[in-house]
Amino acid sequence: MSDQELHLLEDKVDSLLRYCEQLVSERDDFRRQTQEQASQLKELADKLAQFEDERENVRLRVSDLLGKIDQVSTFSPGAEDTATARQTDMPLGA
């Protein structure tokens, strides 16, 4: 093997090593990005679960309040007139 061929082979090996180092660096960057995104995804999933729980609690509270309003309107005098007026959007006694 000539000196020139040996030098050419060394250059190719060096080039290949630099390319491998670049690939390793890119792989490490992608791993870091993937870990960050996985962490963000977990945070968002936790927030979504929290919002869903809060929404269910609000729904239950609103339902409870509507039930109490219905109870009050059924016990108050003239409740039927008020209910009818609400349904037709007409003033009472019209």
pLDDT for position 22? 98
Give me 93's structure tokens: 């006694």
Percent pLDDT > 90 in the chain is 72
19 by DSSP, 3-state: which? helix
Distance CA(23)–CA(91), nearest Å, equals 77
| Tens-digit pLDDT profile for residues 33-73 | 999 999 999 999 999 999 999 999 999 999 999 999 998 88
Which of the two residues, 83 and 51, has the higher pLDDT score? Answer: 51
Q: How many residues does the chain have?
A: 94
Each residue of 1-11: pLDDT tens digit? 799 999 999 99
Q: How far apart are CA 39 and CA 14, in angstroms?
A: 37
- pLDDT reported for residue 82: 53
d(Cα 80, Cα 87) in Å, to the nearest integer?
10
Q: What is the mean pLDDT of residues 22-36?
A: 98
Q: pTM of this prediction? A: 0.55
